[in-house]
Chain A
Amino acid sequence: MIKELEYPFTLTKIRDLKVGQRVSVSGKIFTGRDRLHKYLYDGGKCPVELRDGAIYHAGPIAIRKEGVWVVKAAGPTTSMREELYMPRIIEQHRMRVIIGKGGMGDSTRKACAKYGCVYLQAVGGAASLIAEFVKAVNGVHFMTEFGAAEALWDLTVKGFGVVVTIDAAGRSLHKRIERSSRKALEKIMK
């Protein structure tokens, strides 16, 4: 069963998601990666409303065709690099959805539980396919300051397939797999 999740991502919708659930995301999402996270963490002003919103850890490839941006590739980037910044951004902006790859650590997991946020894992590298889920580029911010890959892209997506790997109850599939694979490894290494 694939669950539909539509913007705005209110607390009620978020609390309803459980680890392991497949989700199809539609509506507004914002891309952001290393430089945006550091900027927001340092207290920088966000040009878009993040409340009940989603940050997608991605640096898309987009080209301008007759004045309109077309996204050609938009897969997720490694989320763990934002671990230092994420909890404060969740707390201050009350954003409720993180989309990325590879999962995040304990600080983010705890912030998800405390403020009501989820982590959704996309398929890393599936850039052409995810670009097809992007229905519109509503705008782009910090293009000159951060460059195209690091910019904040304001996108509308439809049917973006992901799986919940950290939920608002603080459960983490990443943590579970890390533990079980450690156990398996110790057995193999003996």
Chain B
Amino acid sequence: MKNGHWEKNLFQLIRRTSVDLPSDVEAGIRRALKKERKGSHAWWVLETILANAAVSRKNDTPLCQDTGSLTFYFGVPVGFDTNAIVAHARLAVAKATRHGYLRQNTIDSVSGASYDTNIGSASPVFIFQQQARKKVDVRLIMKGGGSENVGCQYSLPDAGIHAGRDLDGVRRCILDAVWRAQGNGCAPGVLSVCIGGDRATGYKHSKELFLRRLPDRSRVKVLARLEERIMKDVQKTGIGPMGIGGRTTLLGVKIDSLSRIPASYFVTISYMCWAFRRRGVLLGPEGGVQRWLY
């Protein structure tokens, strides 16, 4: 694969993800603002968030200084050279770091040394899926530490929260996770929940749900109903934006499932902060932009 447009357009994808809040998320914040009392802390936080989104776009600066861990999701044609696009993506990440769209944010876990280009082991993360079409579908999620640290995994049954192996048990896990997170995940955020799978696939799949748009509901009817119920319940906690009180504790919740083995029943919850950095692009065979996604 020749360099062509690959590196340049992957760099643009990173830049957009870092500075430009997706419109579905911004619309969700605007809806939330209308529900809060004018002049309240919640109202001030949401106003600040919207002002920040505008300044980020205007100044071309990162929405959040914690540009987080980067996960690239590639949908590629049969026979596509995945090693080559990984090499281009790494160059694009290093360049985005030099230009201040990414913070120097990658550390050796043993020595504590900083990888100044953000290229480390499993940094960034690349996930590939083969698709029966010629285009290359690239999506990027950037997720900061505040939200990552409040993610959690339950193994049901869990006597502490009276959660059995059913959807009511799942509901209890989600509510408990919201309470534990308080404002630390930068509320109001989006929860994504994977029922089942093993410990590793549970987290992997829950994070993939962040690729869904904010207003989407699950295609599985009972899960769609559970999503709606959680949204209603959670707002009654009064945790509010940044955890300092208010009506909006979450912007959305996504629930999906994977099969499991009889002995295990995991409920895995990932949290995405309001600074929901998710962008995508469809690239042609030479790496040219066909369409920006989201």
Residues of A whose CB lies within 8 Å of any CB of B are 20, 22, 58-63, 72-75, 77-78, 80, 101-103, 121, 123-132, 147-149, 161, 163, 165, 173-174, 177-178, 180-182, 184-185, 187-189
Contact = CB atoms under 8 A, between A and B. Distances in A.
B257 interface: no
B69 interface: no
B183 A103 contact: yes
Contacts of A148: 103-104, 114
Interface in B41-75: 41, 44-45, 48-49, 51-52, 55-56, 59, 61-67
Interface string B75-119: 000000000000000000000000110011101000000100000
Nearest to B236: A184
B242 A177 contact: no
B207 to A, nearest CB: 18
Contacts, number: 160
Contacts of B99: 63
Which 8 A-B pairs have CB atoms at the shortest separation, nearest pair first?
A73-B65, A125-B275, A124-B186, A128-B56, A126-B52, A129-B52, A147-B114, A102-B184
Nearest to A177: B245
B274 interface: yes
A189 B171 CA distance: 9
B55 A132 contact: yes
Contacts of A61: 61-62, 65, 67, 100, 103
B175, B179, B240, B275 — which one has the most chain A CB atoms within 10 A of its CB? B179
B156 interface: no
B63 to A, nearest CB: 6
Contact of B63 (A20, A128, A161): A128
Contact of B61 (A72, A77, A123): A72
A18 B78 CA distance: 63
Contacts of B176: 185
Contact of A149 (B62, B104, B233): B104
Contacts of A130: 52
B244 A73 contact: no
B107, B237, B240 — which one has the most chain A CB atoms within 10 A of its CB? B237
A172 to B, nearest CB: 11
A80 B150 CA distance: 12
A173 B162 contact: no
11 contacts: A58-B65, A61-B65, A72-B100, A75-B65, A101-B184, A102-B146, A123-B52, A127-B66, A128-B62, A147-B107, A178-B182
